[in-house]
Structures are given as C-alpha cells and as structure tokens.
Amino acid sequence: MPPTEDARTYAPSRPRGPYAKSAVTRQRIIEAATAVFSVHGYLAGSTTEIAERAGLSGAQVFYYFPDKTAILQAVLANRDRIADEIAGPIPENAAEIPEAILRIARNNESAPGFIRLYSILVAEASSPEHPGKEYFRDRYRRLRMRFDSVFAAMEKQGLLAPGVDSTYAATSTLAIWDGLQLQWLLEPEAVNVASQLGRHLGLITRSA
C-alpha cells in the first residue's frame, strides 16, 4: 500500500484542535504498546504498563481501543505503514524487486525491539489458544500472496533461477527472512540479515 493512501485514511483533512490531539494520543498509546510488547510479548504485556508509559489512565487507553487485541492490531498496522513507506511502491521494473526487499531488511536493523516483538507475537500466535491466531494466519497469507505476485512479475520476465517458481520464491524468502532475524536477535554480531537475505535472493533469481 503506497504511503500517501494511508496518510489520507488516517488524517483526511489535516485535523486541528481536539481531533488532532486525539490522533496524537492514539499514536502515543501505539508507541507505548510497541515498547511494552517488545519486551514482554503480547500475552505477558500488560495494558496497565502501556497506560503508565503513555502517561494515561487505563480507562483513557480503553477509550481509544476497545481491547488489547485492538492495540496489537494498531501496533502492527503502524509498523506496516512504516515498512511500506521505506519500501516505496512496487518497482515497475521487476529486476529492482530484490533491492526493494533488501531496503526493508536493512531498515529493520534499526528496530530490533520491533523485530523481537514481531517474532514473539508470531510464535505466541501459533498456539491454539491464542486470540491472535487467525489474525496472524491471515497476515502470513496476505504476505505470501503479495510476495508471490511480485515474484510472478519476475518469473514472467525470466528473472527467476531455473527450477524456482514464484510460490517457492515467496515462501522461502519470507521464511529465511524470519529465521535470519531470529538468529540476529540472539546474536547480532553473528548474522547480517540483509547480506544473507541478499545471497538467498541471488540464488533464486537471475539478472536480466
């Protein structure tokens, strides 16, 4: 989703006064929640701590978000928006797709807290009891479909390596990316995510 579209959705007409203030408070809650979930995960992260960190009461937090799940969804939507801004629109020249992917990977290095949050959330959400299970399953479905469609553009132009189709390219790129980030979180000096992901992209594609 291109960033401009998002900006329109969130702030239709450069709001002023109480509406602008309310958007600022909402954003403050999202940032506090990102910080709390990044350390404790979603299940153990408390809304009390989120409220304290945002300088609000619990009731004020729940005025903006009906429940903890809604806060989580806002945290993820906020991060997706940032990632989309960094990636920019899908390159018209299919040969530039790997570079757009690596741009996001390189930027993630500056946000280890969020990467940790995301890794914990996905792992937690795989539990049958977790309230966010459907949400993450759908999120991965969408991600696979989105990656599949960009790699299909490369496939169409003969830019995938022999024996590689867009479905494998999508699934494997998402998987290796998640796995590299995990190793990097545990030992940042040992693994460079963007460089290893770049090698993977090099192996599954070929230059024009």
Contact between 10 and its own copies by CB under 8 A: the answer reads: no
Question: Which of 64/136 has CB closer to its own copies?
Answer: 136
Amino acid letter, residue 6: D
Under a CB-based contact definition with an 8 Å cutoff, are residues 119 and 178 in contact? yes
Q: Which neighbouring-strand residues pair with 160?
A: 205
Site for its own copies in 119-138 (CB under 8 A): 119-120, 122-129, 133, 136-137
Helices in the chain by DSSP H: which ranges?
A: 3-10, 17-44, 47-54, 58-64, 68-87, 97-108, 112-125, 133-156, 166-186, 193-204
CA triple 97-98-102, angle to 5 deg: 120
Residue that is written with structure tokens 């619990």 in the block = 58
CB of 199 to its own copies, least distance (A): 6
Question: Which of 5/134 has CB closer to its own copies?
Answer: 134
* Per-residue binding letters, 38-67, with its own copies (x by CB under 8 A): xxxx-xx-----------------------
Q: Which neighbouring-strand residues pair with 205?
A: 160
Residue from 11, 70, 77, 175 touching its own copies (CB under 8 A): that is 175
**Binding region for its own copies (CB under 8 A):** 38-41, 43-44, 116, 119-120, 122-129, 133, 136-137, 140-141, 144, 161, 163-164, 168, 171-172, 174-180, 182-183, 185-187, 190-191, 196, 199-200, 202-204
